[in-house]
Structure 1
Amino acid sequence: MTRRHAWISAGLAGSTTALIAATAVPAAAVPAAPHGPKNVIVLIGDGMGYNQAAEASLYENGTSSKQVATDPATGAVTEVQGTPSQAHESFPVQVDMQTFASGGSYDPQQVWTDFDYVKNGATDSGAAGTAMATGVKTYNGGIGVDPAGNEIENISERAISMGKAAGVVSSVPFSHATPAAYAVHDESRNNYHAIADKELASELSVVMGAGHPYYDDDNQPLETPAYDYISSGSYEALAAGQTEWSFVEDGADFEALTAGDAPEKVFGVAQVGSTLQQGRAGASGQPYGDPLNEVPSLATMTAGALNVLDGDEDGFSLMVEGGAIDWAGHANDSARNIEETLAFNDAVDTVVDWVEENSSWKETLVVVTADHETGYLEGPGADPAWSTLDGASGAVPAGSWNSGGHTNMLVPVYAKGAGAKELDRRARMTDPVRGAYLDNTDLANLLLEDLWAEGPGASAGNGSPRGREMAGR
């Protein structure tokens, strides 16, 4: 697929030379749209902060956008706008998002005066995914539950209650935290078998990801199956056609899903262990320096999912996760980060193409974001100041990884289409360097409280933080 580019020239951001405290805009009610979006597509680059995106764009195009640098003369921290080159970087709504879990916080003054501040208090993907899918913050490790363990309705369930279809796609195992948060409810993200069983029993129309028990990370058959992400009984029933799902595992079958008639329910497990590509063998240190696995790309999975979901005339909800950006960040591996981020960008391009060829921006909302940043990627020589990555097309930019874990920094949100402006209005807080930002719960509550609030799934009461605990589950 040809990558589309949005070339936008810009200079330095006019940020403050003195750091200021967060400013909250008065909480005026966000008006509900008379007709919410028919389709909602959320693409999440797991662990993808601004610099993960910058590193990949520098390698691909020699340009980047929205890095941060400290002026050595004045100590002022500014955002360098740069030259965006990805499709979503031209979306009309561009804000930032805080990501901390229940009980956490983000201090926009301290973050730019203490380099180490964001190394503490970070969310995990379970809590972040839950917040983005349900509109309620929870503890690290929780999946679709509030801090007390009550199950909270997610946007996939709201879509289904409105007669729409719903699906999840990931480049990491289908029962991992982010797809799980948009699909099911569990007290722990580590209960992979239980999560897989709940996905199989769900009313979703699409579940796709890595996590095949018969293959390793190099797309090679295992001598002994590894049932890490699904139980043996559940997998064998799925593969034998003993469930209501159409099972897909071969690359050619994934490709066939992208066009023509498609089954109503598809469970796709690529023939690879933990990730589509990131976990494969090799250490060349250069993107694509090691042979790629012969498995479907995230973009192909996304195209297949769209073709399946588009069969519902009432519309759909789809979450697509570039999950292995996070894994590359934990490993402080720039080569694999570049590969995974570019693969995620391809999935975004696939969605943009689908909207413009098969739908319209008047009926479809697309949101591109991250659940948190991983690895604290900065330019060379960072700490205690901030510096930018720099490089030419085809070269791995010089940089520095300053953590092996998640961080508590703001992450980007790009939105376009039906209801996107309402998301912009929810960015009521101000960071002195990054600008307007919202909370990760706003992504779900835009739909649950406003754009899809009039659907049959809307409810009140039950004593919940948002009045949406799911009784009887």
Structure 2
Amino acid sequence: MHFLSTYQRIISRLLLVSSLIVTGAMADEVIMPPAVANTASNNVPTVGPSRPKNIIIMIGDGMGPAYTTAYRYYKDNPDTEEIEQTVFDRLLVGMASTYPASVSGYVTDSAASATALSTGVKSYNGAIAVDTEKRPLTTLMEKAKALGLSTGVAVTSQVNHATPAAFLAHNESRSNYIDIAEAYLTSDADVILGGGQQYFTPTLLEQFSAKGYQHISEFSELASVTTPKVLGLFADVQLPWAINDKQAHKLSHMTQKALDLLSQNEQGFVLLVEGSLIDWAGHSNDIATAMGEMDEFASAIEVVEQFVRQSKDTLMVVTADHNTGGLSVGAHDKYEWHPEVLHKVKASPDVIATRAIAEDNWQPLTATLLGFTPNEAQYSQLQSARMQGNEPLSIALRKLIDIQSNTGWTSGGHTAMDVQVFAEGPGARLFSGHQDNIDIAIKMFSLLPQSVQTP
């Protein structure tokens, strides 16, 4: 399949979706992708899942299966015999492969994977909603807009980072941040929330205002926003790490606000929510910070889960774009993992490093922030790293936390591991079992309204 043409891939996926839909037996409406609708037999039962009014796709960037496993044990109450379920355990329905177009091999980056999830087409690593010939591809958001739905994104990275970009723009390279920010002007998205202020020039912001957008830069201003359209840029680049911002729940608040605003459209909406910084922590092999980001993403999922249960007409699909870091829950031939160590870490390693460098009597401060006291040899290693600057000390602190918790990593990059798929709401069963990431997009496309709705 990896070497079939784009056209053959799409047709085969549409046929798969068609077979899933007509055997669903969940409601009274057939949802048939247009490309295969006319090929269906007249004898095929005309029952299937109802089409949702709203679709919410949530992406845990870099969130391979080891992350959700680690999170389960991280959240476990040690005072009970039972290991409690998390939201990921409740909503799990399937798995997905993530490989990019064959030109990029088997290990995807966020851009190629987001392109697959937003368009249903494989492309090369670095591609932003363009195919391997760098031609624009229709995105889920564009199709939704054409059908009269509202659209939005809420992310913890810069809003023009690879994943949201692949839903709202087209570009041959994810690195063209300024171009992508400018392209958002024509996306007509109703809600854009996250970081990335440094990429939006005063002139560009004026153009957004001229198109009717409210531009806000303080997170406290979000509560006063009552109508779309809104461009909320709350940091120069990324939002703060959740471990350093424990009570803020910024992604959860952005998610709730996006739901409130987009719900004002009676036609429905499509929303992307990304826990972007799970991936960033994974690249750094930073388990304490990663679990903080997982906790915040899980909280955002629970916000959406509650919305789905109340509205009854909303589908939520949660997945990851790829796996980052090759995380292992246990390492060094020891049959153990110690999440209790992570709960005691009071700040991200980069913040601990900054404070330790600024403090002459740095050892007691470091022990307090780590939540444990390093031994003499470990203090010696930290001192050597401290003399080299913030990044070497941050790395040393991360490795020390790994030792204490017995966490392992195989890479500072991505791996080709399959990722999990979680879903709830009308059409959720379509995402059961194994699928490819382009299948997820094609199924979401098939669940959109089939024509422009009029009041």
The answer to whether the superposition gives a TM-score over 0.5 is yes
2: distance between equivalents of 1:101 and 1:388? 35
Match of 2:130?
Answer: 145
Percent identity of paired positions between Structure 1 and Structure 2: 33
* Shift in CA distance, 312/348, structure 1 to aligned 2, threshold 3 Å: same
Contact 2:77–2:84 under 8 Å retained in 1: no
1: distance between equivalents of 2:127 and 2:254? 26
> Does residue 1:234 correspond to 2:204, yes or no?
yes
* Shift in CA distance, 62/122, structure 1 to aligned 2, threshold 3 Å: farther
What is the correspondence of 1:351-430 to structure 2 with a 5 Å cutoff?
351-357=304-310, 359-360=311-312, 363-381=313-331, 389=337, 391-392=339-340, 394=343, 397-424=405-432, 427=433
Q: Which amino acid aligns with 1:121?
A: Y
Question: What is the CA-CA distance between 1:386 and the residue it aligns to?
Answer: 11
1: distance between equivalents of 2:69 and 2:163? 23
Q: Which amino acid aligns with 2:240?
A: Q
Question: What is the CA-CA distance between 1:405 and the residue it aligns to?
Answer: 0.1
Structure 2 runs not aligned, ≥5 long: 1-12, 22-30, 32-47, 345-400
1:256 aligned to which of 217, 224, 230: 224
* Shift in CA distance, 212/57, structure 1 to aligned 2, threshold 3 Å: farther
Match of 2:450?
Answer: 454
Larger relative helix fraction: 2
1: distance between equivalents of 2:160 and 2:102? 26
What is the correspondence of 1:2-401 to structure 2 with a 5 Å cutoff?
27=16, 29-31=19-21, 32=31, 33=48, 35-62=50-77, 83=83, 85-91=85-91, 94-103=93-102, 121-213=106-198, 229-235=199-205, 237-238=207-208, 241-257=209-225, 262-270=226-234, 272-278=235-241, 288=243, 291-292=244-245, 297-357=250-310, 359-360=311-312, 363-381=313-331, 389=337, 391-392=339-340, 394=343, 397-401=405-409
Contact 1:277–1:293 under 8 Å retained in 2: no
Q: Which amino acid aligns with 1:250?
A: E
Q: Which amino acid aligns with 1:103?
A: S
Contact 1:127–1:138 under 8 Å retained in 2: yes
Q: Which amino acid aligns with 2:429?
A: K
Deviations 1:387-418 (A, max 9, x none): 77454483674210110001100111011111
SS in 1 for 2:143: helix
Question: What is the CA-CA distance between 1:243 and the residue it aligns to?
Answer: 3.5
Number of residues of Structure 1 aligned to a counterpart in Structure 2: 351
SS in 2 for 1:187: coil
Contact 2:115–2:121 under 8 Å retained in 1: yes
SS in 2 for 1:131: helix
* Shift in CA distance, 84/145, structure 1 to aligned 2, threshold 3 Å: farther
Contact 2:155–2:273 under 8 Å retained in 1: yes
SS in 2 for 1:255: helix
Q: Which amino acid aligns with 1:263?
A: T
* Shift in CA distance, 379/447, structure 1 to aligned 2, threshold 3 Å: closer
Contact 2:126–2:172 under 8 Å retained in 1: yes
Give TM-score, length-normalised by structure 1. 0.69
Contact 1:298–1:322 under 8 Å retained in 2: yes
2: distance between equivalents of 1:300 and 1:379? 30
2: distance between equivalents of 1:390 and 1:295? 26
2: distance between equivalents of 1:370 and 1:235? 31
Q: Which amino acid aligns with 2:447?
A: L
Contact 1:379–1:389 under 8 Å retained in 2: yes
Give TM-score, length-normalised by structure 2. 0.71
Question: What is the CA-CA distance between 1:423 and the residue it aligns to?
Answer: 2.1
Question: What is the CA-CA distance between 1:232 and the residue it aligns to?
Answer: 4.4
Contact 2:50–2:426 under 8 Å retained in 1: no
Contact 1:251–1:296 under 8 Å retained in 2: no
Contact 1:378–1:386 under 8 Å retained in 2: no
Structure whose CA Rg is larger: 2
Match of 1:73?
Answer: none
More contact order relative to length (CA 8 Å, sep ≥ 6): 1
Contact 1:88–1:368 under 8 Å retained in 2: no
